[in-house]
Structure 1
Amino acid sequence: MPKSFVLVINSGSSSLKFAIIDSASGEAIVSGLGECFGLPEAVISWKYQGTKSQQVIEIKDNHHEYTIEKVVDLIESLALSKQLVAVGHRIVHGGEKFTSTVRIDDKVLAEIDALSSLAPLHNPAGVKGIKAALNAFPSLPQFAVFDTAFHQSMPDKAFTYGIPQPLYKEHGIRRYGFHGTSHYYVSREAAKMLGQTVEKSNIISVHLGNGASVCAVSAGRSVDTSMGFTPLAGLMMGTRCGDLDSGIIEFLIKKGWSQESVFETLNKKSGFLGVSGLTSDARGILEAMEGGHKGAKLAFDVFTYRVAKYIASYLVPLDKLDAIVFTGGIGENAQPIRSEIIKNLKLLGFVEDAVANQAARFGQSGIIAKSELLGAVVMVIPTNEEYVIAQQSVELL
């Protein structure tokens, strides 16, 4: 049976990630990144069968189009075009309009563009990527997979803010949640590891990376999640503050801060970076903490404490708990962070297996703690969002 490959595209404002995924196995045949768009150091890099290559981007604009043109050249040079059956696009915000993956046509493209007010940094870039791919692959069916779609199963009580209802009805202000493809994937992989169907599983998925979120998954459906109207809410992250008293915004503006400087600080200068005064990278935090850096230790403590609080609070929407699942760059690799979070959950009876926790890194799954009290385990499962995009694209074929 011939293999079915899907080109997966994730367009950012200054970057474009791409991968050619085997829709059956999830294997990345090719993976690459165009980055630093608009800067002199703009470059495209890719990996194929363990070999890394790169090419400097020599133009000043139209970087998304240029990157995809190079992807086309790469596909042709590797003789992969006959096996390519679809293009799948990761789109950050689908609002309430999109509750599942959809095939892209002119109407869908216009609706994604119209949702740009909800994700001004992400959806316009997604539209650029779609347009460039439609031009480059006019004969291939193309699909949009939305970060927010998985969370559209949340009940009203979970997504409603305590604000006047006209703000929701007229402007769509509500909790949307993000990292949907990651939470979807690991919750299903966790059910497999538990030897049960996803319909009978209750999972708390903990995606920890430069962006981070927690999701309560009951019977395979998102019932609550920590990110909100934007990805700024919830956990403290690499440069984002996470949950914050909104009165602080008014306070700073009255102190003479501009609106732009407030949100620049909350989105790009807070989190690990702001608290430590050192770095937004968890690896740098752990290294500096070992050297006695007080700011790094405080950032570590704030982060792990907040993650544990969210995990504990997400027992509320679940009838029972089968597993807590760590995923994402930090969740999959930072053993000291996982260990501290588990310690903070001691009242729930979780006991860490230190050897298993040390082993479950760098692509390895595993059970790293258990609670006799809850009859639940803590797992590490590497996420594979590109595989979800490829799978759902092929399913719609």
Structure 2
Amino acid sequence: MATRNILVINCGSSSIKFALISQAHSYPLLSGKAERLGSPEAALRWWHGDVQQHRELPGAEHHAALEAVLPLVEEACGGQLDGIGHRVVHGGEHFTQSCLIDTQAIEAIRATIPLAPLHNPANLLGIETAMQLFPGLPQVAVFDTAFHQSMPAHAFHYAIPHYLYRDHSVRRYGFHGTSHRYVSQRAAEFTGLDLGDSSWLSAHLGNGCSTCAIVNGQSRDTSMGLTPLEGLVMGTRSGDIDPNLHSHLALSLGWSLERIDRMLNKESGLLGLSGLSNDMRSLEQARVNGHPEATLAIEVFCYRLAKSLASMACALPRLDGIVFTGGIGENSSLVRAKTIGYLPLLGLAVDEIANARCVSGVSGAINAHGHPRLLVIPTDEEKQIALDTLALLDRGVH
């Protein structure tokens, strides 16, 4: 069988990330990002091998940006493009796995817009634009929420009136599913365990953060909920708060719902606690320099992460290991060590030398000898989206 090439597209409201994945290579043939779309500063940056290039696209919208990407993709794959995989944030309860995109799928994605009003419209725009530019090419939607559709009812229900779930689909959905699924598979491969007989806790830690309990390759619980705001402390998101904070701020400060939502999503988390940055690297440096709020932000982040991992353990029959991934999970030995330091009751301990070694894409075990597994595994959501796309092509669904 000839080597196949898949273009992966992640379309945001003002940006498009893309990667060209080839079966013949372990790294993308091409990757890049179009950002600030719709503004005079719109620009396209891409990497072809080790070479980074840049092109201004003043005023370009999504269609024009993808048109600019098209010849780059054609050149990089020698005109041999076999399919396109799209990241879609929310699939609701309709999508339990990735699917070929057709008219019915597009309408089902459109129906979930009320559940993800900031993300799904942009995802749909990317899909419809790509279908115009690549007519006849198989295109696949891969949903952040689909992996978590295996959660049992007692894990996904909120303790609110049932009609809100029945009539309005208010429930816990979870996100980062593509990442959690990928690293749990890699963890099983790394340790020689059968994925179908394994139990993992995974922590995806970036600007957005979530934990997940994975049993026999299926999600059993996760920290995010109806929206990506629930759960852990994140870059700018608060994570779990008292639900009555909304009314408290409205009554005591006169804040509007929009003001409160902006604060919780854009001004909280590491940024809000530190008053300095949402970037863990900057906060770690500030901590070294004695910055008290940066030190507090890191401590809160790690403590809340540890609490979440401990609670996720309720969903496991046993613990085969904990996996750290995402930009912070893969690169911050400090966060990993501090988090594990809060979990002595689980018998966990870090090997300091191994922990220090696992940064900048280096994967491996970081647990102290004789203690439960702790793994650092770089995530690769683009590769997982490409694999899902290839799997659907292999089934002849096109």
In the alignment, structure 1 residue 203 sits paired with structure 2 residue 203? no
Q: What is the letter of the counterpart of residue 37 of structure 1?
A: L
In the alignment, structure 1 residue 186 sits paired with structure 2 residue 144? no
Comparing 139-148 with 34-43, greater Cα deviation is found at 34-43
Shift of 1:371: 7.5
Matches within 5 A, 1:59-138: 59=59, 63-78=61-76, 80-82=78-80, 84-138=81-135
Asked whether the 8 Å contact 2:201–2:322 carries over to 1, the reply is yes
Comparing 24-33 with 47-56, greater Cα deviation is found at 24-33
Q: What is the letter of the counterpart of residue 361 of structure 1?
A: V
Is the alpha carbon distance of 1:332 and 1:239 closer, same or farther for their aligned partners in structure 2, counting shifts above 3 Å? Answer: same
For 1:176 and 1:140, the matched residues in 2 are separated by 30
Asked whether the 8 Å contact 2:30–2:76 carries over to 1, the reply is no
> CA offsets, 1:180-224, max 9 Å, x none?
000000001001111111011100010000000000000000000
Identity of aligned residues (%): 48
For 2:77 and 2:346, the matched residues in 1 are separated by 54
For 2:24 and 2:326, the matched residues in 1 are separated by 22
Q: What is the letter of the counterpart of residue 378 of structure 2?
A: P
TM-score normalised over the length of structure 1 = 0.97
Matches within 5 A, 1:1-397: 1-23=1-23, 26-59=26-59, 63-78=61-76, 80-82=78-80, 84-254=81-251, 255-370=253-368, 372=370, 376-397=372-393
Q: What is the letter of the counterpart of residue 39 of structure 2?
A: L
For 2:83 and 2:193, the matched residues in 1 are separated by 32
SS of residue in 1 equivalent to 2:373? strand
Comparing 362-371 with 259-268, greater Cα deviation is found at 362-371
For 2:74 and 2:220, the matched residues in 1 are separated by 44
> CA offsets, 1:71-120, max 9 Å, x none?
111123335322x1100000000000000000001111121112111001
Is the alpha carbon distance of 1:320 and 1:25 closer, same or farther for their aligned partners in structure 2, counting shifts above 3 Å? Answer: farther
Asked whether the 8 Å contact 2:5–2:77 carries over to 1, the reply is no
Asked whether the 8 Å contact 2:41–2:59 carries over to 1, the reply is no
Shift of 1:348: 1.8
Q: What is the letter of the counterpart of residue 224 of structure 1?
A: D
> CA offsets, 1:284-322, max 9 Å, x none?
110111111111011001000000111111211111000
Is the alpha carbon distance of 1:196 and 1:188 closer, same or farther for their aligned partners in structure 2, counting shifts above 3 Å? Answer: same
> CA offsets, 1:44-75, max 9 Å, x none?
10001111001111225xx2111110111112
Asked whether the 8 Å contact 1:366–1:380 carries over to 2, the reply is yes
**Structure 1 unpaired stretches of 5+:** none
Asked whether the 8 Å contact 2:233–2:301 carries over to 1, the reply is yes
For 1:104 and 1:165, the matched residues in 2 are separated by 32
- Which aligned segments of 4 or more residues in structure 1 are displaced greater than 3 angstroms? 23-26
Q: What is the letter of the counterpart of residue 335 of structure 1?
A: S
> CA offsets, 1:233-270, max 9 Å, x none?
00000000000111000111123101111000000000
Aligned residues: 392
SS of residue in 2 equivalent to 1:352? coil
Q: CA RMSD in A?
A: 1.2
SS of residue in 2 equivalent to 1:44? strand
Asked whether the 8 Å contact 2:62–2:129 carries over to 1, the reply is yes
Asked whether the 8 Å contact 1:23–1:390 carries over to 2, the reply is no
